[in-house]
Chain A
Amino acid sequence: MSLGTLDLDLDVFSGPFDLLLALILREEVDLLELDLADIVLAYLAHIEARGDLDLDTATEFIVLIAALLELKSRLMLPEEEVEDLLEMAPEEAAEELLERMLAARRYRGAAGELQGLLAAQAGVSFRRAPVPRRFRRSAIEQAQGTADPETLGEALAGLLRMPPQISVRHMLSPRVTVGERLEHLRGLLRRGSFSFDDAVKDADRVTVAVTLLALLELYRRGEGEWEQAEPFGPITVRPGSAHTGAPRWREPAHGEGASGGGAPLEVAV
């Protein structure tokens, strides 16, 4: 898309944008009578209708409209002031630039002098790691306040406010995998039978629960079988003959367990 296809319907002109530009340059359309804001609005509507923004075209438009704005603002100034502006600007700019360059040269020279001073002190060293000045004892009248007491007050007030509780929900709890516990149980099984309590000695609740899952997995694969004589009683795990039938534990009656949950297997954790 080019700006030429931007159709305008303004008070003083109706037609494509590039024709308007040509007419302005040939002074057939008076820039002073033209409302530039209307052109901008028309362009924005145009972009909106097309739905996409072509960066090249947009840049071109901004450059053109900026040029028109500058041209128009100059036309609106009284004649002589325009000339003043045009004639004074480059000289004034150069004068200011000159001032700055001279200042820069001045300090470049001073920099050379300082380098010389530093070089002249080569080889002279002082005691290292001095006590930071802020730790030195100094009289109160020597301490010069650089900050407003009110700023200090505000900072202190901020310290007195309780900070919001930091959520740690995103943090993972320690992970125990069924695989790890399975390996652990297999290791114990290789030495014969063992009690579940021994298998989870000193372990936390999560590990106990995962170990139980591992035990179920062990049973499913026929690698082990277990026995629990009564609810909350000790569970004995024995190496299993593969593909055995149901585990031999007594299923507790509902309500018999302390929790009343009626779970088939209850472990005190």
Chain B
Amino acid sequence: MSEVARIIEALIFLSPEPLAIDELSRATECGEDEVRAALAEIAPRYEPGVRGIALKELAGGYTFASEPVADEAARRLFGRVRLAKLTQAQAETMAIVAYLQPLSRPEIARIRGVNADHAVAALHEHDLIEESGRSQFGAALYSTTSTFLKLFGLNSLEELPDITRFDPSPEEASELRERLLKAGEARAGSDPQAA
């Protein structure tokens, strides 16, 4: 490998966070094109199935990750090494923050219809979301972290599928509407003030 490639390989090995092209360029004092060429030189050596670690492009940068083949042994050695699963409440909260960030806890609760404090605290604990400012009313605003992108295998938020993909179908929506209207009328009928 060229010298630049070897240096970049070392930097990625040392860094706990994905390193972006411009960071590598600044550190090596090489042009971004040169960095890209070096990465292309490194990449084939870390193709999946070649070694125990793989080179990944995640969270807007390059990082090394262990291959699943080492998972069980790593768990025996280090205990739980990564977040395995989210609860339903955590996953819903995660989705809301991922798509609507930055937003505050009350806004999350409004969309979910139930209190989101526990889920927000747990996601914060796992370093999947972080405070990224204050709303005009002083409430903390939450955004996703690079850990979120890493753990979910994303290079950037743009890789998330379009949210409309998850919209209920028109049939589902109209059925829901019918049910709600019926319930509303039943209540109005039993209301002595309205009668």
Contacts and interface: CB of A to CB of B under 8 A. Distances in A.
Interface in B162-184: 163, 165-168, 172-173, 176-177, 180-181, 183-184
Contacts of A26: none
Interface string B118-132: 000000000000011
Contacts of A118: 83-86, 151-152
A262 to B, nearest CB: 71
Contact of B68 (A123, A129, A133): A123
A58 B78 CA distance: 62
B24 to A, nearest CB: 15
Given A67-B193, A110-B99, A114-B91, A124 B65 contact: yes
A94 B16 contact: no
Nearest to A130: B16
Interface string B66-103: 11111100100010011111101001101110110000
Contacts of A111: 88, 91-92, 94-95
Contacts of B63: 126
A89 B185 CA distance: 10
Nearest to A115: B91
Category for how many chain A residues contact B: 35 or more
Contact of B163 (A94, A97, A106): A106
A113 B166 contact: yes
A118 B90 CA distance: 13
Contacts of B176: 98, 101-102
B181 A104 contact: no
Contacts of B56: 124
Given A94-B180, A110-B98, A123 B187 contact: no
B91 A121 contact: no
Interface string A92-126: 01100110111111111111111101111111111
A123 B153 CA distance: 12
Contact of B153 (A74, A86, A120): A120
A121 B85 CA distance: 11
A97 B180 contact: yes
Contacts of A108: 92, 95, 166
Contacts of A147: 134
Contact of B112 (A94, A107, A115): A107
Contact of B96 (A91, A98, A107, A125): A107
A97 to B, nearest CB: 6
B163 A146 contact: no
Contact of A122 (B71, B161, B193): B71
A33 B132 CA distance: 57
A129 B63 CA distance: 15
B181 A121 contact: no
B94 A91 contact: no
B99 to A, nearest CB: 6
B163 A110 contact: yes
Interface in B129-153: 131-134, 150-153
A107 B165 CA distance: 10
A174 to B, nearest CB: 43
A145 to B, nearest CB: 9
A126 B86 contact: no
A125 B163 contact: no
A2 B71 CA distance: 72
Contacts of B86: 114-115, 118
11 contacts: A86-B194, A98-B177, A105-B172, A106-B166, A110-B161, A121-B151, A123-B70, A124-B153, A126-B66, A130-B17, A131-B16
